[in-house]
Chain A
């Protein structure tokens, strides 16, 4: 192994070219920053953040603002517009400024809360969904043992047999997955649109239900237990820092034991900023009609 410390040729005499403007037009920079924020959050939300706080403290904007007077104000709006990453947030010493640190912690808090919170039983009652549980007895075990989240508890198996007549065309299952927040926020809209779309297409289905602490592959076991032709499973996605309320809808045709992800199709990124829940529900109904007709599933439609 070499330990050479050869230097490359020296750079150009003046490393940074002269900024485009000698003085900063602060009003213009601020206008551009606000424009970028509005693009990221949507005009309504960006405005609401500022206006509807009723005097409560808001997280102040950091990207492009904290840095103060940039070296080249002409290029800064382009940098901010090019990426959702937390760039141009400035520093105090080598650390974050306080508004930046708090914004980060707030985003992480939303993600954490989404993972550990529960789907509201009142919501399930409102939608007329009955509830089963997986083999995972609590959240901690659920997170450590994906195998337990992929199987129904003994009581749930018995209950399933009582509730669902043998061999339905379709079984509709909801699960918390890794974000209960996603279901709490968007299940109402998704479920209503799905029921309407399935009815419109004349697709018969078993009474829909919810499985607490469940993972995707539990749909395979459920479909086999009740002899369904197809299964739909909708659950919360693993939250990112910028979002905590995204769902995915998975569907499969007659899953055999040992079915893999290649046998399954998915519509992901279901949330108001990505794929609208009602629209995703209608797409899912259309896709289910297709897999029932073609008697196969397995073309991955990532986000499509």
Chain B
């Protein structure tokens, strides 16, 4: 394997493939914090030059965490479609990138091909892509999933309604939920982040949102984003659970710091199929984000973008209904400003879709990041152009429980209008029957929470 490149007379040498993968990344504060970032722009480009000539076989043989030490690596390698991998293993990363972007390569071909690719290969490809490359390639791919309704169809944009409340007040949760439904959001999931992580509170939230959905016959699925073990206890006790949620990470060590093992995810998946409310077959909801392994001090010396790709390699094993990269939540130590958040959002979305998973994005920022509402709206437009399956939806994007800003009900409605996107078909039918939407546009009645009295 060639590990050196010369640019304008200066030769840059790299220690190993793992270092090439890290230094080829666009600037991210998290890679710098981990001591993995390129020292100069030229060194970054030299790393990309080296990476362009690396073969898929070399990436296959050099996962960023060795298989013997890591269950996530073993899962990804074990899921690989061998004949497809064998047919492309001699390709360089440059050839993979050009194949992805070629006019004659369509979405179904990319989904077929991806079954023979490891997460490191997909990450490597994305590292050679510009922002517009990432948007254009992601747009080709449609990942269609079904739980109670259908997400990911062409011309559709769905929304997770996120009606959080600072003290888990059921009436408070339902107030934001009423507002969101009146703007036509909630077709991806009605998902509440609880303050209190226990089975009783989780069941109470699930049953309250579930009862509301039943009363108003809303064709969607609910979720309470407690720890997976908490949700399992609530589900066993008979709570109305649509999707099973868990935050995941790209190394076994980081997963463990989240209190999660693959065996536990298997168990949760089985239980949701057997006891959950949604017809499926897709019933899992995962959240990810660059930097999470590093923040748990479990990044194993690997860069945050490659580890994020491995999240998707893990996720695809469970055919999730939703995977959400919470891109600006982690803070400026990992993604410093709007430019880094935007880049990471586009990378994550492309890498997720190329893995064949139903990819959405919590386009968001915290108050100590160098970003604001205008930056957030820009990212939402870019991801809408890229064919993102879903965004968040909050009252004016202000999460009064988690204290960060995300996508608002108004933004979701605007993006649909701007791009001509409609909600999930079952949900659109319901909105029409409620008189909230006509011909894909909100009616005058929309935007009034008192409709759901």
CB-CB < 8 A to B144: which residues of A? 1-3
CB pair B398 A241 closer than 8 Å? yes
Does B450 belong to the interface (CB within 8 Å)?
Answer: yes
CB pair B394 A85 closer than 8 Å? yes
7 more contacts with CB within 8 A, not counting A8-B217, A15-B216, A241-B405, are A79-B449, A82-B165, A82-B169, A89-B396, A91-B410, A143-B333, A144-B29
Contact with A along B375-400 (1 / 0, CB 8 A): 00000000000000000001110101
CB pair B174 A3 closer than 8 Å? no
Closest to A11 in B: B217
Closest to A80 in B: B175
CB pair A1 B143 closer than 8 Å? yes
CB-CB < 8 A to A89: which residues of B? 395-396
Q: How far is the CA of A87 from the CA of B173 in the complex (A)?
A: 11
Closest to B335 in A: A144
Q: How far is the CA of A144 from the CA of B291 in the complex (A)?
A: 12
Q: How far is the CA of A16 from the CA of B179 in the complex (A)?
A: 15
Q: How far is the CA of A16 from the CA of B400 in the complex (A)?
A: 29
Contact with A along B335-372 (1 / 0, CB 8 A): 01000000000000000000000000000001111101
CB-CB < 8 A to B176: which residues of A? 83, 85, 87
A-contacting residues, B393-451, CB 8 Å: 394-396, 398, 400, 403, 405, 410, 413-414, 417, 425-426, 429-430, 433-435, 442, 445, 447-451
CB pair B175 A111 closer than 8 Å? no
CB distance from A158 to the nearest CB of B (A): 27
Most chain A CB neighbours (cut-off 10 Å) among B169, B173, B175, B217: B175
Given A3-B153, A85-B176, decide whether A11 and B171 contact each other with a Cβ distance below 8 A.
no
Does A112 belong to the interface (CB within 8 Å)?
Answer: yes
CB-CB < 8 A to B405: which residues of A? 108, 241
Does A283 belong to the interface (CB within 8 Å)?
Answer: no
Q: How far is the CA of A20 from the CA of B216 in the complex (A)?
A: 18
CB pair B449 A84 closer than 8 Å? no
Closest to B415 in A: A94
B-contacting residues, A35-92, CB 8 Å: 67, 70-76, 78-80, 82-91
Contact with B along A1-27 (1 / 0, CB 8 A): 111111111111001110110000000
CB pair A5 B150 closer than 8 Å? yes
Residue from B173, B394, B433 within 8 A of A11 (CB atoms): B433
Q: How far is the CA of A86 from the CA of B449 in the complex (A)?
A: 12
CB pair A76 B450 closer than 8 Å? yes
CB pair B336 A1 closer than 8 Å? no
Q: How far is the CA of A304 from the CA of B143 in the complex (A)?
A: 47
Q: How far is the CA of A120 from the CA of B202 in the complex (A)?
A: 44
CB pair A3 B449 closer than 8 Å? no
CB pair B217 A9 closer than 8 Å? yes
CB-CB < 8 A to A88: which residues of B? 179, 448-450
Given A1-B143, A8-B217, decide whether A87 and B414 contact each other with a Cβ distance below 8 A.
no
Residue from A4, A86, A147, A238 within 8 A of B367 (CB atoms): A238
CB pair B430 A8 closer than 8 Å? yes
Residue from A84, A86, A111 within 8 A of B166 (CB atoms): A84
Q: How far is the CA of A94 from the CA of B448 in the complex (A)?
A: 13
Does B289 belong to the interface (CB within 8 Å)?
Answer: no
Q: List 19 A-B contacts (CB under 8 A).
A: A2-B150, A3-B150, A79-B175, A83-B165, A85-B176, A85-B179, A85-B394, A85-B400, A87-B395, A89-B396, A94-B410, A96-B396, A105-B373, A107-B398, A112-B372, A115-B368, A143-B336, A144-B336, A239-B368
CB pair A78 B429 closer than 8 Å? no
Residue from A7, A90, A108 within 8 A of B429 (CB atoms): A7
Given A1-B281, A2-B146, A144-B333, decide whether A75 and B450 contact each other with a Cβ distance below 8 A.
yes
Q: How far is the CA of A244 from the CA of B367 in the complex (A)?
A: 10
CB-CB < 8 A to A147: which residues of B? 33
CB pair B445 A11 closer than 8 Å? no
Residue from A6, A20, A82, A100 within 8 A of B175 (CB atoms): A82
CB-CB < 8 A to A272: which residues of B? none
Most chain A CB neighbours (cut-off 10 Å) among B333, B368, B373: B368
CB pair A70 B166 closer than 8 Å? no
CB pair B396 A83 closer than 8 Å? no
Does B172 belong to the interface (CB within 8 Å)?
Answer: yes
B-contacting residues, A89-135, CB 8 Å: 89-91, 93-96, 100, 104-105, 107-108, 111-112, 114-115
Given A1-B282, A88-B179, A95-B410, decide whether A238 and B336 contact each other with a Cβ distance below 8 A.
no
CB distance from B286 to the nearest CB of A (A): 16
CB distance from A134 to the nearest CB of B (A): 15
CB pair B400 A94 closer than 8 Å? no
CB-CB < 8 A to A166: which residues of B? none
CB pair B451 A71 closer than 8 Å? yes
Most chain A CB neighbours (cut-off 10 Å) among B145, B173, B410, B417: B410
CB pair B332 A15 closer than 8 Å? no
Closest to B445 in A: A71
Closest to A87 in B: B179
Does A240 belong to the interface (CB within 8 Å)?
Answer: yes
Closest to B401 in A: A85
CB pair B216 A11 closer than 8 Å? yes
CB pair A240 B403 closer than 8 Å? yes
Given A85-B176, A241-B403, decide whether A7 and B450 contact each other with a Cβ distance below 8 A.
no
Does B9 belong to the interface (CB within 8 Å)?
Answer: no
Closest to B452 in A: A16
Q: How far is the CA of A291 from the CA of B319 in the complex (A)?
A: 50
CB pair A83 B175 closer than 8 Å? yes
CB-CB < 8 A to B453: which residues of A? 16-17, 19-20, 71-72, 74-75
CB-CB < 8 A to B450: which residues of A? 70-76, 79, 88
CB-CB < 8 A to A93: which residues of B? 414
Q: How far is the CA of A295 from the CA of B174 in the complex (A)?
A: 46
Q: How far is the CA of A145 from the CA of B30 in the complex (A)?
A: 9
Closest to A76 in B: B450
Residue from A5, A16, A86, A100 within 8 A of B425 (CB atoms): A5
CB pair A104 B367 closer than 8 Å? no
Does B219 belong to the interface (CB within 8 Å)?
Answer: yes
A-contacting residues, B162-185, CB 8 Å: 163-166, 169, 171-176, 178-179
Q: How far is the CA of A179 from the CA of B333 in the complex (A)?
A: 16
CB distance from A259 to the nearest CB of B (A): 14
Closest to B145 in A: A1
Given A2-B281, A85-B394, decide whether A143 and B332 contact each other with a Cβ distance below 8 A.
yes
Given A7-B426, A96-B396, A143-B333, decide whether A91 and B447 contact each other with a Cβ distance below 8 A.
yes
